[in-house]
Amino acid sequence: MEPDLEINPNTNDLPLRANTNNILVRHYVLDLTVHFDRKVISGSVVLFLEPCSGVNAQGEEDGTVEDITKGLGKTTANMEMVCDKAGIGSKAEDDDTQSSLLWETTSDCDFTLVLDCCDLAVINIEEVDVTSVSVMSSHHMEFASDSSGVSSVDQNAAFIQKLISMPSSRWRQKHQFFLLCSRAPGPQDGSSLQFHRDRWSLQVRKKGIASPQQFPRAVRICYETRPTGGSVRWTKDQDKRVCVYTAGSPINNRALFPCQEPPVAMSTWQATVRAPCECVVLMSGEEQAVPIEDGDTLFSVWSYYVTMPMPASTFTLAVGHWSQVTAEIPAEFERSVRNRTDCGKMAMPRPGLGHWTELGLLSGLGSSFSEVVKGSPLQTGSGGQTTRSDSAFCYSSLEDEGFSVTDYSGMVNDGISCSHGDYPCRFAEREARSQRVIPHRVFAPVCLMHKAQIGVLKLLPRCLAAAHAVLGVHPFSRLDVLIVPAGFSSLGMASPHIIFLSQSVLCSGSEEKGSSLCGSRMCHEIAHSWFGLVIGARDWTEEWISEGFATYLEDIIWAKAQQLSLQETGDQSDLKALLRWRRLSDELQNSEEELQILRPNMENTGLVSEFGSSIVKHALNPDKTFMQVHYLKGYFLLRFLASQVGEQQFIDFFRLFVKKYHGQLILSQDFLRMLLITFPDMERKGLTLSAIYADWLDRPGIPKWLYERSAVWSQARLVEEVKTEVVKWILLSQSHQGKSRKRKRMEPKVNYKELLSEQLVLLLELLLEESELSVVTLRSLQRTYNLQNQDTEVKHRWCELVVKHAYTQAYGHVESFLVNDQAMGVYLYGELMIHEDAEQQALARRCLSLVQEEMDQSARRVVQEMVL
């Protein structure tokens, strides 16, 4: 049986090839080693499979696996023999196709397991013989069975089915069994499964097996990633130290491990990662225990796991030399970073700065850092779960800061119970309901420690508490935040238990200044815990379900975190709405119509082929990577719906929706239908599901309501203040146009109002509409607002103004922005090139040469097309 989906290689659609309607991966066990010298990750992944028919999901009585865990060392040795035998570390093919030697001996009549995969060198694939684990566990009640007359193959299948079906109350035992099975040997006859890898998939067969029910239930794949694989980034952090991380690529994780990528393929996983001892390994998941150091290899072994079934795309990994940010920065760190304003590759390095000081500092702090991050295990939480030392996490009550948050946990209908499959759910835990701030850690390169302390560590508890006040129970029990390398292509990315933040959101300077961008971005990523992670889109083309919701909620959560009054909240909301309206209208004027549709599959949304494969429309389009339409148009749809039912009632409805749909995948219609049922007056006013589809989701352009509402936002109080200041600057510019520079005269003193960061953004945007601004005006603007030290959104508009008016005195600001704020600087290259100014074009080429090695692949490709 061949995969049923033909992909046109000339389109920008992403194929999801996995045949999830035939067979599903229920659990992954990954055993990986990070090789910085070769820029590869090697190891194995064991897939525990369940056919999609004839599934027995009955739970069994409790038992114990304490006796058989004694065999863990022996099975670990077996696993090492398997990988040695398979040739891990040997040279692999470099083309887009690869087959095992006997693939041609299989038949199209044989069942084919199809996995999403690319840029991987597959070494060997074999069935895992779990007979030894099954026999060892046979004396336990839950696995007891009459094996007389039953083949070993059937015994293996029955054992794994019972393992998959174990109730969530025994998840620890379940994971121990999975781990033991993953380290079991292959078939006694040494045979392998046959495989073929093409550009987008890995196809696996067992000769003579014609159905998913007969296919092996545990499969081990030994493989290596490739240095240029699209799922991970090999780069250097801002301290010039090597690191690797999953970059949120459009191809997701298929170049990290073979997997089933369609969102419906919800699975749990556990992972063991070996990395150099001086490195920190951060992952999406719970940490099982403190890392174990291997003195023979100078590697440490880190273990993580998840108990909530989630799409494979949510798996996240980061390995590097980062340090944990603490409330009090040690003196040696403080001295290192006090006078530094930028990290990494500086546009204009100061003479006399060498690498030895920083490297010496890092090596000198190794022991103290190890004590913090690699502390002794601590029994915490229900069931005595082993986690890191208490000192590694921050626990904030916020009481000392006078931070009060209204608890809304009792105001909604508690009659709605969990509707998802069986897993240990925090929404069902009484303790979790009152946990406003979950344990959290922040990691950063040394040179950004102070900024991360001010901009992230101090704000994070407030943001977490505010999110709990708005949405209720935190879906995940802990959170790590990592400041990722400068080449990260966006401002942030959320995964289970971990958030990646760009250095571009950190506060500028040594003061707690410009915290709005950092705080609002953290609130955006935290909101993804509810919308995007614990509730996900069943069809990836409906990105607005994740990004539109997070954009809408970030304002509400951030306002609560700042403890703003209702008036202040409304004022800021209107100002941000106007800024987003301007951005959206500009984007829609300069993009293809097919990229402006929030539900591009329309009535076919959520449909897949007979075997479960599908495509994600436009996912590989490089233009789409930098578009904000799903964020902004989705945000405005939610604002429109809130205006129909009342903002507080709308937030209350969010909490009801989360209670009902957490742990599940949804389509737009699930949210909208529940909303219309909850507020029947909407339909009586003519606001039907089809009307919302027609106006907002299924067509390009801007709905009528948004045009009308933008006029109201344009007259908001904070906006009017900006307009007043704009007039002052235009008058100043006009007074200097056409006058001789040699002629000096006394300037009348003008009092300029202090503006919020968002007001500064609007001020600069409005001044960008002016065809001419004098040099005196630009210089005065810079000095009045200290623009080069504002947040990144303000600096971006300032750089656009500098480029438009060829203000050469501030070209250094443009260079610094393009080098240090790569997540936002892509289109600034185009503006430097389009004016055909030789100096500006040279500036663009110089900046590209400085950063192209660390840039995200998609961003580099777009910029190179502009510049080269």
Tokens of 330: 């040690």
Q: Residue for token digits 């505010």?
A: 466
Closest CA to 30 of 295, 282, 220, 253: 220
Tokens of 20: 């999830």
Tokens of 267: 């699975």
Closest CA to 245 of 322, 345, 323, 320: 320
Which neighbouring-strand residues pair with 408? none
Tokens of 806: 């060829």
Cβ neighbour number for residue 727 with a 10 Å cutoff: 11
Cβ neighbour number for residue 107 with a 10 Å cutoff: 11
E strand map for 341-400: 378-380, 385-387
The amino acid present at 427, given as its one-letter code, is F
Element (H, E) at 28: strand 23-35
Give the DSSP letter string of 732-765. Answer: HHHHHTT--SS---PPPP-PPPP--HHHHHHHHH
The amino acid present at 701, given as its one-letter code, is G
Tokens of 158: 């029955």
Residue 508: CA count within 13 A, CB half-sphere = 19
Closest CA to 810 of 486, 490, 347, 451: 347
The C-alpha atoms of residue 290 and residue 295 are separated, in whole angstroms, by 16
The C-alpha atoms of residue 69 and residue 667 are separated, in whole angstroms, by 43
The amino acid present at 116, given as its one-letter code, is D
The C-alpha atoms of residue 660 and residue 419 are separated, in whole angstroms, by 6
Residue 658 to residues 535, 556, 668, 741, Cα–Cα distance (Å): 8, 16, 14, 63
Active site (annotated) includes residue 765: no
Active-site hit among 127, 525, 800, 815: 525
Tokens of 215: 């296919």
E strand map for 277-356: 280-283, 286-287, 292-294, 299-310, 317-320, 323-324
CB 160 within 8 A of CB 27: no
Closest CA to 618 of 629, 608, 609, 610: 629
CB 47 within 8 A of CB 25: yes
The C-alpha atoms of residue 544 and residue 463 are separated, in whole angstroms, by 22
Tell whether the torsion through CA atoms of 469, 472, 477 and 480 is positive or negative: negative
Reduced to 3 states (helix: H, G, I; strand: E, B; else coil), residue 292 is strand
Residue 276 to residues 10, 110, 291, 628, Cα–Cα distance (Å): 41, 43, 11, 38
- Give the active site residues: 525
